[in-house]
Chain A
Amino acid sequence: MDKLLREIVLENSDHIVKKWLTEIDRKKADNYTVSISEELFESTNREFVNVIFSSVEKEGMLEDLHKFSERLIHLGWPLSYLTEGMQAFRRVTMNFILERSEEVDSQQFTEILEGVDQWIDPIVNFLVNEYSGNWENTVSIQRMALQELSAPLIPVMEGITIMPLVGTIDTERAKLIMENLLDGVIKHNAEVVLMDITGVPVVDTMVAHHIIQAAEAVRLIGASCILVGIRPEIAQTIVNLGIDLSNFPTKSSLQKGFRSALEITGRRVVNVGEEDDVENILDSLGKE
């Protein structure tokens, strides 16, 4: 960082800090700090300006700034707080130098101008990168979480697995359903998979097509797939669309589907006593 600039900034730090704090405080009205208390805002401002000065002292070292920005990211402060803070610092410093322009000639002034830009720009770039890197990270984590949620497979008992589907099925999700279904059948050694579409809002020809293909693939690897949870209005719509599900095992509820799955796997529900009311357990399975 430019030596002259550093001297001016450091020698007049009291004045510059005061001006900077006033500028930043005015920004508070711009709603990005609505949820932040007065005390926290002020203490963060002080810390921020100290970090800026420490970076001036250490000739542009970004170590403190890195720690500071990392904490702000973690606390969810907006990036604009940091970039505006840096811009305010540029303005305050330039104004301060202009006010005292008798003391610097025009040659020096241009140098200082360039010096300030060369110093501020990398810091702003650095902060933007820190923030966006972190944000991309968050998005990819959420994306992964969503992928896990979008086609879960529950091995309820030996040979029987349930895939409950909730929400809209788009092409990407349809692919996941197919993959998870086939992987899961092999991994859990499933004989029967119950695909529950109770939570799917619209079954159009694309969704129906994907379900038919998935069931066909399950059949090819030696298991069977029962479609359950077809709501009455969905059943009517499917019929109107002219989609033929006649060679496709379907059951109206998960409960009924589970009974068939038990039969297919050679099992039967036996009532062993009043307290162990298996029928009740099965009934509660059918609830949405």
Chain B
Amino acid sequence: MMDNHFQSCIPIQKEWDIVAARQQGRDFSKQIGFGAVDQARIATAISELARNIYLYAQKGAICFEYIEDMEHKGIKIIASDEGPGISDISRVMEDGYTTSGGLGAGLPGIKRLMDHFDIYSEEGKGTEVTIQKWLR
């Protein structure tokens, strides 16, 4: 159906790019075969990541990749930016921690929505969040 290397990226600069990114994520996960609930989870996770880029790093990109192993297929999403970075990762992973008067539920929420969550950030360099969801 899809080849392994398929990857596409949506640049995030304007608020409406967030909508474009999650639309792409929704279409892509539908193609892979995810049901309505997982599609909503994936679209919501993308929305959180894209909004964080827009709010804290001003610009960046969301990339999508089709993944598979012996038993399953799935989706991998990478959100990257060259913004200010995060100094204390464990702190931003706490429920309710926010520097913008938000709910502070984005990053810990994404972790619960997805099967795999990985964050790498360097102060002054940028942030990269990688998430995955497997089709069951």
Give the contacting residue for B113; candidates A168, A201, A202, A237; CB below 8 A. A237
In the docked arrangement, what's the CA distance between A156 and B76, Å? 46
| A-B residue pair count with CB separations less than 8 angstroms | 64
**Shortest Cβ distance from A201 into B: residue:** B43
Q: B48: CB under 8 A from chain A?
A: yes
Q: A51: CB under 8 A from chain B?
A: no
Indicate whether A242 sits within 8 Å of B40 (C-beta atoms), given known contacts A202-B47, A204-B47. no
Residues of B within 8 Å of A272, CB to CB, are none
Q: Number of residues in A with C-beta < 8 Å to the partner?
A: 20
Residues of A within 8 Å of B51, CB to CB, are 204, 206
Please choose the segment from B15-23, B61-69, B78-86, B121-129 that sits at the chain A interface, where 4 or more of its residues have CB less than 8 A away. B15-23
B40 touches A205 (CB 8 A): no
Q: A273: CB under 8 A from chain B?
A: no
A202 touches B105 (CB 8 A): no
In the docked arrangement, what's the CA distance between A276 and B102, Å? 48
Give the contacting residue for B15; candidates A171, A209, A240, A243; CB below 8 A. A171
Give the contacting residue for B112; candidates A204, A205, A233, A242; CB below 8 A. A242
Q: Tell me which residues from 168 to 189 in chain A have a Cβ below 8 Å from any Cβ of chain B.
A: 168, 170-171
B113 touches A170 (CB 8 A): no
Residues of B within 8 Å of A171, CB to CB, are 15
**Shortest Cβ distance from B19 into A: residue:** A168
Q: A203: CB under 8 A from chain B?
A: yes
A243 touches B105 (CB 8 A): yes
- Binding site of B, secondary structure by majority: helix, strand, loop or mixed? helix
Task: Kindly name the residue among B22, B37, B51, B108 whose own CB sees the greatest number of chain A CB atoms within 10 A.
Answer: B37
Q: A241: CB under 8 A from chain B?
A: yes
Q: B89: CB under 8 A from chain A?
A: no
A205 touches B48 (CB 8 A): yes
**Shortest Cβ distance from A204 into B: residue:** B47
Q: Tell me which residues from 40 to 83 in chain B have a Cβ below 8 Å from any Cβ of chain A.
A: 40-41, 43-44, 47-48, 51
Task: Kindly name the residue among A201, A203, A204, A240 whose own CB sees the greatest number of chain B CB atoms within 10 A.
Answer: A204
CB of A217 to closest CB in B, whole Å: 15
**Shortest Cβ distance from A212 into B: residue:** B103
Q: A88: CB under 8 A from chain B?
A: no
Indicate whether A241 sits within 8 Å of B112 (C-beta atoms), given known contacts A170-B16, A236-B41. yes
CB of A214 to closest CB in B, whole Å: 14
Q: A232: CB under 8 A from chain B?
A: yes
B15 touches A170 (CB 8 A): yes
**Shortest Cβ distance from A232 into B: residue:** B37
Q: A234: CB under 8 A from chain B?
A: yes
Give the contacting residue for B41; candidates A201, A206, A209, A240; CB below 8 A. A240
B15 touches A236 (CB 8 A): no
A233 touches B39 (CB 8 A): yes
In the docked arrangement, what's the CA distance between A209 and B47, Å? 14
Interface residues of A (CB under 8 A from B): 168, 170-171, 201-206, 208-209, 232-234, 236-237, 240-243
Besides A202-B40, A242-B109, 8 new A-B residue pairs in contact (Cβ under 8 A), listed by A number:
A203-B44, A204-B44, A205-B48, A205-B103, A232-B36, A234-B40, A236-B41, A240-B109
Offer 6 A-B interface pairs, CB within 8 angstroms, sorted by A: A170-B16, A170-B19, A202-B47, A208-B103, A240-B112, A242-B105
